[in-house]
Amino acid sequence: MNARTIGWLFGGVCCAAGILTMMFSWDSGGADIALSLDRVGWDAVENVGPNGNFPMAALALLMGAPTLIYLNATQWRNTGGY
């Protein structure tokens, strides 16, 4: 396995983990968002904020996305150009 393949795998895993973690990195004052909105309606939307998982999700996305962007932007060199 060459370095580019490892880069593609690393970037893909980081982006996937970041996106999945980002889905669960929001809460509304210590309660589950679905339960909060069910009890108080849309009035709780302004109280929604990031929880403890947010930094890990953001870090995974900030590591994975630039890796994939760089590898995609330079892929034409490995295929012989246009």
- State residue 65's pLDDT score: 96
pLDDT tens, per residue, the chain with 82 residues: 899 899 999 999 999 999 999 988 887 766 666 666 666 666 666 777 888 889 999 999 999 999 999 999 888 777 776 6
- How far apart are the C-alpha atoms of 24 and 26, rounded to whole Å? 6
Q: What is each CA distance from 4 to 59, 62, 70, in whole angstroms? A: 21, 18, 11
- State residue 79's pLDDT score: 78
**What SS3 string covers the chain?**
CCHHHHHHHHHHHHHHHHHHHHHCCEEECCECHHHHHHHHHHHHHHHCEECCCHHHHHHHHHHHHHHHHHHHHCHHHHCCCC
pTM above 0.85, yes or no: no
- State residue 52's pLDDT score: 86
For the chain, domain boundaries:
3-78
